[in-house]
Structure 1
Amino acid sequence: MTHLAEGESLTAADVSWSVDGQHILAGVDMQVPTGSFTGLLGPNGSGKSTLLRGLARLGKLDEGVVHIGSDDVHRLPRRALARRLALVEQNSATDIDLRVLDVVLLGRTPHRAALQADSATDRAIAVHQLERVDLAHLAHRRWSTLSGGEQQRVHLARAMTQEPSLLVLDEPTNHLDVGHALQLLAMVQHSGLTVLAALHDLNLAAAFCDHLVVLHQGRVAASGPPEQVFTADLLAEVYGVEADVDLHPRTGRPHLWFHPPMVPH
């Protein structure tokens, strides 16, 4: 039904960003391998959302350069970038009360001439992506009537409708129940795209990601495969928690067992 672009690598070199003189990101070097599902991890305030917005050119970096494939993101025309990179932010709102299908069709904008009407192909692609997120039955519902989790899944369908080679997600499982969270992560894992996703649930990251980047206070604290990144020492340093790291008996992937904190009486 749809043509999925092949994944492309994403690299960031010496990326820094400050707000009112305060550094949010400082000298971040990061590589997202071609075709990987890379998890961007770190506690609240570590700079994950800021980094994702900088990578997608939603703001001007103080320093550094970002490449998608061999091309400098900041030198690409907007339409060309939108054909290759799709971003789903944590809170993606729309001011116009559209139908669900119309929101998804916004993903076809980079592929159409200005003021060109949706084609039959555009509509077929949009409906197919709604089916993939289990929301085709809501195609004609008003956007404003959806739950937060349903809206998040619609925005993933919209991003996939762009047919990008690189998919960037900020907390994609936010508001989702466990069933739809697992379905969404499995879908992007097997999409054939290069995926970079900020995640809070470390065990979901361990279960689905093949590459991790951990931010701590605006810098990269660790990067690599989950079995190398997830150590008791890193979890204590970055998250301030005690945990045991074991291998899941069914998947063979790392699994984290957290120690309950001591609570003063």
Structure 2
Amino acid sequence: MPEVGLFIPCYVDQSYPQVGLAAVRLLQRHGVKLHYPRDQTCCGQPMANSGCDEETRPLAERFLRIFGRYEHVVAPSGSCVSMVRNHYARFLEGKPGFDHLRRNTFELCEYLVDVLGVERAGGRFPHRVGLHQSCHGLRELRLAQGSERVVAPFDKVRQLLASLDGITLVDLTRQDECCGFGGTFAVNEEAVSCMMGRDRIADHERAGAEVITGTDASCLMHLEGLIRRDRRPVKVMHVAELLAGAEG
């Protein structure tokens, strides 16, 4: 079994530590030998998205030094994994170990399905669940096919969820629409961001979802904030929490 370096993104570390703990339980359940480097920091995505390349570069280099020694790197966040795989090249191209890091960094569900070959997550979750497809995971990591692509249907996250006993995965009107978070977009364009988020919540509610789940704590934080503000009766859970907490 490969040794895995566990990367815990900033949002998870600071606001949703239970997601990181759930990811640990889930990976250990499937026999993974985990390492958690205590000197890890932000991957640099917020700075890169704002055009601050010189502030991003030392974080990318640090990430390579810390995680480049592991056979695989896994994170419960599609956007952070996409940062490493799709956007680190301009900072790290040609550096020793970067090609290995880029090829072997995985989102949590992607790792379970593509590397470990997990077909059934195991457990029971007798609720109606709506799956939010985060933009980075969908369009940059290809965790699912995306409605704009004419390819055979696939959905790695939904595949794991569907294997839980008792679960009902609801069908949304727009399966892969953005929630409106977009990092600093939610700050700079607050009104538009909130309208987009409320559209997504309404779609889940129309479908009868009791729980909204997804792979990115940042998107779920945005949706949960709007749900709490509007006092909507919908619960939000990261997919790691849902899978790890499913009744055995």
TM-score (norm 1): 0.31
Higher helix proportion (structure 1 or 2)? 2
Higher relative contact order (CA 8 A, sep 6+): 1
Higher strand proportion (structure 1 or 2)? 1
